């Protein structure tokens, strides 16, 4: 017997201390990956019809914190985040702009990826586009028709929710009152409108050039179908975790479960995690209320990108978060203090010869408090409090001149380890690569300057600033840096 085989058969030690509140069971449950040490996770992504708003970014930052904490615990993570690049809104907006669908969505897809980097959000392993997975979606619809869960009507295909006995289990939607055969065509509707939903939308003149000729007819996929097809393609079934904003519980996630489980006869997802809403100035964000912000809006007002990240992750993920100027100012101060302490201890090679056992003990205690808080359903406010207490202990030790070289290195490790999850101190977790969109803008700006078109160049400088990037013109060319506190 070879040693390799023997090692392979050894049981792996799997960390079993994380508990998460599963929206599907409504219970706090111990999290263990389905397959060995790898977590397979699907996080609903953007519909690329416009810039994402700050509420969307709360979801993306929290998904990132979950991902980073799973990695902190030693799990390998395979994350899939879809790009919805065909739906009612993308089609409507692209027509208004007079652009082909792909031409239109490309801009917002690039902006989305650039904004992720601005907020120090790690890249997922896969970003599948809906328009590139039509074959998988058609195969899924055909399977549902074969298994008698779907039917054709007026050129479209619908899911028959009366056939799926556990329909409504995730969201609590009731279908008792349902009139048999009542259908709904739009992608978004409320719980009391639960009825047979559209899987495949037959072509209508409104769709213009946007259609696919397929075995189930000429048309395009429904939004819910996209996520089922792409998650199962990249992750198989069942997979470990599916996340999204709580506004997606119904109908989107309810319908994802129905489609996927009816087609495979298997459980779709083990853990469902939902993130709470973001309010701005105590109110639901709306363009009409004047409290609607994109990330770029906030950056162009001079707010720090990392303070925005800090604020977005500072409340518990299931709670509502009220986003205000005051809260942002507090976040800016908190980030500044933490960074200042981290910088301070990074410059220290040791002030005293004698070790400070009290400091080391305090940091061990705070690290444990951090892990305990995160293990308890990702309690980020408590975990951040541990980081702040650790920072105060470090400042005190430096002020009192009681820090040896070894203490300083223990303190640096405390900060850098916890920051693998928070991503707010900069440095090792931050990618310094320029996003594609910013690189293009810098190039176009150089060209504008070359033809002495100062207005365009200045406009582009402002656009870059809104992405958290400041440019400087030097004799040897344009340089850039990330704007920080
Ligand atoms: Zn989705």
The environment of the single-atom ion ligand 1, i.e. residues with CB closer than 5 A, is 44, 227
Tell how far the Cα of 30 is from the centroid of ligand 1, in angstroms: 24
* Cα of 128 from ligand 1 centre, angstroms: 12
What b/e readout covers 298-319, taking b as 16+ CB neighbours within 10 angstroms?
Answer: bbeeebbbbbbbbbbbbbbbee
Q: Which pair of tokens denotes residue 192? A: 């009391």
Q: By C-alpha distance, which of 146, 128, 132, 129 is closest to 216?
A: 146
Rounded Cα–Cα distance for residues 476 and 14 (Å): 53
Beta strands in 107-181 (DSSP E): 150-153, 156-159
> Are the C-beta atoms of 31 and 18 separated by less than 8 Å?
yes
C-alpha angle 477-481-485 in degrees, rounded to nearest 5: 150
Gap between the Cα atoms of 423 and 471, Å rounded: 24
In angstroms, rounded to a whole number, what is the distance separating the alpha carbons of residues 43 and 383? 23
CB of 238 closer than 8 Å to CB of 225? no
Q: How many whole angstroms separate alpha carbon 215 and alpha carbon 399?
A: 73
pTM, entire model:
0.88
**Element housing 477 (H / E):** strand 477-482
CA of 154 to the centre of ligand 1 (A): 26
Dist. CA 244 → ligand 1 center (Å): 7
- Centre of ligand 1 from the C-alpha of residue 83, in Å: 9
Residue 10 is predicted with a pLDDT of 47
Can you give the pLDDT at residue 178? 62
- The pLDDT profile of the chain, 485 residues, written as one tens digit per residue, is 444 444 444 455 678 999 999 999 999 999 999 998 999 999 999 999 999 999 999 999 999 999 999 999 999 999 999 999 999 999 999 999 999 999 999 999 999 999 999 999 999 999 999 999 999 999 999 999 999 999 999 999 999 999 999 999 999 988 766 666 789 998 888 888 889 999 999 999 999 999 999 999 999 999 999 999 999 999 999 999 999 999 999 999 999 999 999 999 999 999 999 999 999 999 999 888 888 999 999 999 999 999 999 999 999 999 999 999 999 999 999 999 999 999 999 999 999 999 999 999 999 999 999 999 999 999 999 999 999 999 999 999 999 999 999 999 999 999 999 999 999 998 433 345 677 888 888 889 988 988 999 999 999 988 888 888 888 887 667 778 777 64
Task: For 83-127, give the DSSP string.
Answer: BB--SHHHHHHHHHHT--HHHHHHHHHHHHHHHHHHTTPPPPSB-
| Burial call 167-200: b when 16+ CB within 10 Å, e when fewer | bbebbebeeeeeeeeebeeebeeeeeebbbbbbb
């Amino acid at each position: 017997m070879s040693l390799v085989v023997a090692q392979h058969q050894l049981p792996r030690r799997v960390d079993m201390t994380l508990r998460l509140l599963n929206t599907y069971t409504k219970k706090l449950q111990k999290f263990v990956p389905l397959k060995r040490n790898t977590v397979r996770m699907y996080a609903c992504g953007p519909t690329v019809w416009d810039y994402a708003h700050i509420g969307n970014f709360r979801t993306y930052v929290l998904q990132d914190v979950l991902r980073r904490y799973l990695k902190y615990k030693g799990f390998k993570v395979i994350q899939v985040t879809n790009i919805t690049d065909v739906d009612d809104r993308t089609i409507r907006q692209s027509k208004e702009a007079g652009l082909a669908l792909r031409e239109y969505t490309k801009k917002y897809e690039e902006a989305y990826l650039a904004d992720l980097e601005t907020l120090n959000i790690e890249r997922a392993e896969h970003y599948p586009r809906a328009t590139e997975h039509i074959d998988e979606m058609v195969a899924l619809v055909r399977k549902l028709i074969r298994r008698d869960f779907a039917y054709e009507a007026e050129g479209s295909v619908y899911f028959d929710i009366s056939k799926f006995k556990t329909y409504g289990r995730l969201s609590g939607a009731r279908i008792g009152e349902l009139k048999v055969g009542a259908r709904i065509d739009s992608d978004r509707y409320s719980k009391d409108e639960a009825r047979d939903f559209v899987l495949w939308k037959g072509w209508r003149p409104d769709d213009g050039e946007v259609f696919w000729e397929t075995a189930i007819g000429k048309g395009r996929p429904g939004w819910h179908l996209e996520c089922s097809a792409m998650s199962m393609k990249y992750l198989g079934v069942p997979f470990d975790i599916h996340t999204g904003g709580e506004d997606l519980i119904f109908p989107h996630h309810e319908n994802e479960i129905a489609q996927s489980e009816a087609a495979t006869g298997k459980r779709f997802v083990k853990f469902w995690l939902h993130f709470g809403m973001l309010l701005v100035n105590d109110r639901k964000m709306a363009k009409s209320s004047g409290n609607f912000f994109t990330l770029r809006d906030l950056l162009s007002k001079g707010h720090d990108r990392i303070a925005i990240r800090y604020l977005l992750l500072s409340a518990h993920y299931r709670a509502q978060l009220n986003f205000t100027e005051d809260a942002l100012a507090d976040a800016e101060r908190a980030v500044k203090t933490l960074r200042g302490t981290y910088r301070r201890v990074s410059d220290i090679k040791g002030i005293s010869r004698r070790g400070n056992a009290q400091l080391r003990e305090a940091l061990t205690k705070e690290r444990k408090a951090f892990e305990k808080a995160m293990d308890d359903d990702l309690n980020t406010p408590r975990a951040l409090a541990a980081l702040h207490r650790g920072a105060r202990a470090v400042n005190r030790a430096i002020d009192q001149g009681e820090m040896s070289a070894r203490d300083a290195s223990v303190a640096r490790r405390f900060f850098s380890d916890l920051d693998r999850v928070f991503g707010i101190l900069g440095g090792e977790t931050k990618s310094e690569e320029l996003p594609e969109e910013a690189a293009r803008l810098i190039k176009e700006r150089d060209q504008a300057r070359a033809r002495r078109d100062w207005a365009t160049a200045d406009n582009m400088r402002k656009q870059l600033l809104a992405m958290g990037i400041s440019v400087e013109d030097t004799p040897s060319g344009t340089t850039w840096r990330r704007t920080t506190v």
